[in-house]
Amino acid sequence: MSEKITDTLSAPADTDALARLRARLAASAEADGLLDIAYTVVDSPVGGLLLAATERGLVRVAYAREDHDAVLETLAQKVSPRVLRAPRRLDATARELDEYFAGRRTAFDLPLDHALSHGFRQLVQSRLPDIDYGTTLSYKQVAELVGSPAAVRAVGTACATNPLPVVVPCHRVVKSDGGIGQYVGGVEAKAALLELESAA
């Protein structure tokens, strides 16, 4: 009997049913105030991006090379264990990212939750959106911008630990000698973002 039931179910039907169940679970959890962190994964020209948001705003953007499962585990430990795939909360973020990668958006207009950054790192990250689209600043210039001209290495660390890459544009910070510098998404992703912006 069970073999017949299994045989009649196709893989797409299973996938669709699972998607519907997940959507119902997410909607129910949100309605009951139990959805602390919603997440989804979207495709982009620089690979799959994990997006996660609390009720306060976007809390995490993660490249595939960061290991999405590890990122979700960190969110569960540092923010809340109530994490669920719930794409609807990330609709605006996904739309703005699509517009950015299509060259139709030069700045993001999203509520952000800075729960994963503190102190000097948060200060640096809060000033990164001040770097105009299509331009770059050196780590030294960013250190001067935040009023700590000697803190060049600390600025590098703040950029490297930015929990909201792309949206908070740490890719616009480069080395003083003109080198591209390191990037959480990899040097290729950083180069692609800079090329996208310079072309526009």
Check if 159 is active-site: no
One of 170, 173, 194, 196 is an active-site residue; which one? Answer: 170
CA distances (Å), origin 105, targets 83, 87, 100, 113, 200: 29, 21, 4, 21, 10
Q: For the chain, count helices (H), then strands (E).
A: 8, 6
Are 92 and 42 in contact, with CB atoms under 8 Å apart?
no
Who contacts 154 (Cβ-Cβ below 8 Å, separation ≥6)? 120, 121, 124, 143, 148
Q: Which residues are catalytic?
A: 170
